[in-house]
Amino acid sequence: MSRLREACEIDLYTGDRAIARSELIDRVREKQGLVCLLTDQIDRGVIDAAPSLRIIANIAVGYNNIDVEHARVRGIVVTNTPDVLTEATADFTWGLILAITRRIVEGDRLVRRGEWKGWALDFMLGSELRGKRLGIIGMGRIGQAVAARAPAFGMAVATSSDRPFTARLRPEGPDLPKIASVSFDELITTSHVLTIHVPLTGETTHLIDARVLARMRRSAYLVNTSRGPVVDEAALGWALREGLIAGAALDVYEREPEVHRDLLGLENVILAPHLASATIETRTAMADLAATNVLRVLAGDQPLTPVNL
């Protein structure tokens, strides 16, 4: 904010929920730059309400909340914040993998309810990761960062991505392990842990549906830190109740902050409140990158991370 204030007049929305569309349209009318969050729907109506708008800077990697094509037609630059949240999201993904396979959150709830009776040989047995297959759907920057951590847990990695992954998209960080490239059907039927790292598009909406869940291993776990609508939550609730998969860990949801009622009462699902990039360092870097993009565009320079140029 201090960097932006040095160069711009700032109109800051301070509400604790997403700004109402009518208020957003009213306040964006004379603006040249807009910094928004993934919870803000920047559609054609919002864009057309701002004839002077030159840049929309989204504080997120994904930008499915923005009508990018209409912004391009209007000559408005759209930017996102890739890279800076890659490592934090990969770390969090592994946190969810460990938590769901070893039943950590479930155990925490049990202790808090006063139901723990003491150590027992066969009490709350989880599943080890060593020697198992980690299936990654989406081998972009975050998917590759998740894969790079797999050897530490003794997991083999497979993906159905057709994107080349012989070298990391980011030069820094550990080298990638050997990754098996298989068909999507083989990936979902052979993976012990299936983790999702794809953007939200028409093709990926409900990519994980009842058919996919029914074909997964009964001992498999599903993890989603990408976008909520990639998973059909109603189908997931059904699969967990019926024992078609062993468990799931979600950080994102179809209608955030609402969570499908079928998931709320289940013990074998972890429900995190969209925390994958929620570290002080990462969220600060995301905001700083968005501010840099705004300042560069308003100064007549190219942004660092455009998505529609």
Measure the CA–CA gap between 250 and 269, rounded to whole angstroms.
Answer: 8
The answer to whether the CB of 57 falls within 8 A of the CB of 290 is yes
> Which residue in 206, 274, 283, 296 is the catalytic one?
274
> Which residue in 74, 186, 256, 283 is the catalytic one?
256
Cα–chain center distance at 161: 17
Written as one letter, the residue type at 222 is L
Is 206 an active-site residue? no
Is 274 an active-site residue? yes
The answer to whether the CB of 298 falls within 8 A of the CB of 42 is no
Q: How many CA atoms lie within 13 A of 208 on its CB side?
A: 36
Measure the CA–CA gap between 300 and 64, rounded to whole angstroms.
Answer: 26
Measure the CA–CA gap between 94 and 218, rounded to whole angstroms.
Answer: 21
Start-to-end CA span in the chain (Å): 26
Omega before residue 257 within 30° of 0, cis: yes
> Which residue in 70, 133, 217, 227 is the catalytic one?
227
> What residues are annotated to the active site?
227, 256, 274
